[in-house]
Amino acid sequence: MSVSVTPTRLGLGAGEAFASALPRVHAVTRYHTRRVTCPVTREDLVAEAVALAWKYFAALTRRGHDPGAFVTAMARRAAQAALAGHRVCGAERADDALSRLALLRGLVVVRRLRERTHQRWDQVPAEMVAEEL
């Protein structure tokens, strides 16, 4: 026996229901990202969490559930997922040097070049010598 599952389209009511839940989703995601010090990164995480919340909302609506009953829990899980590096279009690579996730896991250490006192001056690039003068 084979069962084929076809995705159902979202009705117009799903968008309106999410729009009515959006202030609560936004408030919850802002609360959970409050410890991110950079305001630009924080806003990016909030936007990503809202997008993840919409993805979860749409998936639950397609399954026949009423996601309006647990908007806060859904928004909290979306914020946690965004903080963990999950994105709507995939996930952040943990081995990327510019990734926030790599910094959090301790895979990348960012230091100033001047803290390295063990380096000999004849091995320093000319650009750094010009900055020092």
Each of the 133 residues of the chain gets a pLDDT tens digit; together they read 444 444 556 666 777 888 888 999 999 999 999 998 889 989 999 999 999 999 999 888 888 888 888 999 999 999 999 988 888 887 777 677 777 777 767 767 766 766 555 556 555 566 555 555 4
pLDDT for res 49: 95
Q: How many domains does the chain have?
A: 1
- Residues comprising the chain, all counted: 133
Residue 115 maps to a domain = no
Residue 40 maps to a domain = yes
Residue 65 maps to a domain = yes
Residue 109 maps to a domain = no
Angle at 37 (CA atoms; ends 72, 53), nearest 5 degrees: 25
Residue 51 maps to a domain = yes
Pairing status of strand 90-91 against strand 86-87:
antiparallel
pTM of the predicted protein model: 0.67
Residue 22 domain boundaries: 12-91
For every residue of 37-84, DSSP letters joined together read --HHHHHHHHHHHHHHHHHHHHHHHHTT--GGGGHHHHHHHHHHHHHT
Residue 44 maps to a domain = yes
Residue 122 maps to a domain = no
